[in-house]
C-alpha cells in the first residue's frame, strides 16, 4: 500500500501545485475514511502542503517548498505553477 500512497501523494501535491485550491475542494476530492489511504494526512504530516487563509477566499491549500522539491525530484512539477 505504501507505493500506492506515494503515487497518490504525488498526485495530490501536483494537483495543488497547479494553483492553490480551496480547502473545501481539497477535502471533497481527497478526504477518505479508509485508514490505509491517508493521503491528505500524510501530505500535511510531511509538510508537502499547507492550509492557510486568504482574504476574500477563505481557507486554501498550497504546496510548500518541500512539496515543490518532491515534485521536482519526481519530475512532475507543472510547467506553469502559480506561486
CA distance 2 to 19: 26
DSSP line for 4-55:
HHHHHHHHHHHHHHHS-EEHHHHHHHH----TT--HHHHHHHTTSEEEEEET
Within 13 A of 38's CA, how many CA atoms are on the CB side? 8
Range of the structural domain that residue 58 is part of:
2-73
Whether 19 shows a pLDDT value over 80: the answer reads: yes
Residue 56's pLDDT is 87
For 27-59, how does the pLDDT look when each residue is reduced to its tens digit (9 = 90+)? 888 877 777 778 998 999 999 999 999 888 899
User: pTM for the full model?
Assistant: 0.84
Would residue 33 count as lying in a domain?
yes
Would residue 78 count as lying in a domain?
no
Would residue 62 count as lying in a domain?
yes
CATH number, position 25: 1.10.10.10
Amino acid at each position: 500500500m505504501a507505493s500506492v500512497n506515494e503515487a497518490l501523494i504525488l498526485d495530490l501535491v501536483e494537483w495543488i501545485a497547479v494553483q492553490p485550491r480551496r480547502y473545501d475542494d481539497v477535502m471533497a476530492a481527497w478526504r477518505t475514511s479508509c485508514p490505509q489511504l491517508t493521503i491528505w494526512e500524510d501530505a500535511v504530516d510531511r509538510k508537502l502542503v499547507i492550509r492557510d487563509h486568504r482574504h476574500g477566499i477563505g481557507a486554501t491549500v498550497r504546496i510548500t517548498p518541500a512539496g515543490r522539491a518532491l515534485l521536482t525530484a519526481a519530475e512532475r512539477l507543472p510547467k506553469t505553477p502559480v506561486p
